[in-house]
Structure 1
Amino acid sequence: MKWTRAVHHLTELVEKCAEPPNPVFRFDVVELWAFGDLLGVPRELDVIEVAVVSDLPVDEVPWLTEPLGAEHWAHSTRVSRNPISVRWRSVHAPVWNHEIERPALVWSRAHGVVEEALVAVSDGTAELVRLPEPSPDELRKRIEDELVVSLAAMRRANQVYTDKRWSPGKLTPHADSLWHTTSGYLDLLDAAG
């Protein structure tokens, strides 16, 4: 997609985040961060990468999983229909990790739209609004913390899958949850190695 289209999609998502929360969905988004190629120089992109931060406990948002209610939020904001890759995060832990490198905050419930960041992304000068790079020790600690959360989540998802394996009803949602949780754990394990 063209750079201007990518910026348009990001701006549209920021505007959706800035709207009052929909009480029907009960999914509380408190921050939106951009990361990846969108924070570089203007060029064609395949996808826009964002971190959507919710006010959920850390253990309810393990790496590479989709928290309860997030799917409805993604549909209502058109994220699921646009070329946007979402990483779900908890406000109770740092947004950055081994993949979300030096993100830029573009919206928060506390401060609203971060116009400076949107302009910098549009101009290709997002380097000016990105978080500083963590030290190797900080990054290692971040990955270790996420591994603990991810392993506990994988064990829970595995138990739910095991409990539901021979029960009536669809197994797909439980299998998908286990798959996402396992993928997150393995990704973190690779990053730690």
Structure 2
Amino acid sequence: MSLTVTTWSLEQTAPGDLRPAAAPDGDVTIVRAEIPSPEFSRFLYASVGGDIRWIDRLSLTYAQWQEHLTKPGVETWVAYDKGTPAGYVELAARDDGDVEVVYFGLIPAFRGRRIGGHLLSYGVRRSWDLAERWPELPSTKRVWVHTCSKDGEHAMDNYLRRGFKLFDTEVSQERDVPTPGPWPGA
């Protein structure tokens, strides 16, 4: 069975483009996972994307995860609510000064608590100052992201409210796959 998927690409071209969200109420902290951990990254990926058809990384081996996570300019920032992982944003620097927000989202139990806008704002700020932590990389010239019709219902609106501007739209057909949940059989 086929699924029609619309993919939107959005960008910011200056740090001043960011319109940050207010911090949510409660004990929400955002911390960089500085030690590359395929186990933790796979947990975040599967837990956030399991109900919205994120499947492209599920078949990666441990070595493939490790290789990706140790590339210069790849960072994972994790939101915690009272010490529990609530979601994450993964950044990846490109050679030309672009930084991609590769993955961003919340674990389903934490959606609707105003954490997403705050986490996205924080991740975008870290995109703009990424070269300060990675001096071998060029300064950030552009931050970009893509989202699609399979993502959460508030994803596109969150990007637009944070100051991203649409620069491309594509429509494609994909094979419809069952939603795997955070682990097989969930």
TM class by shorter chain equals under 0.3
Task: State the TM-score, normalizing by the size of structure 1.
Answer: 0.25
TM-score (norm. length: structure 2): 0.26
Q: Which has the larger radius of gyration?
A: 1
Higher relative contact order (CA 8 A, sep 6+): 2
Q: Write 1 or 2 for the structure with the bigger share of helix.
A: 1
> Quick check: which one's strand share is greater?
2
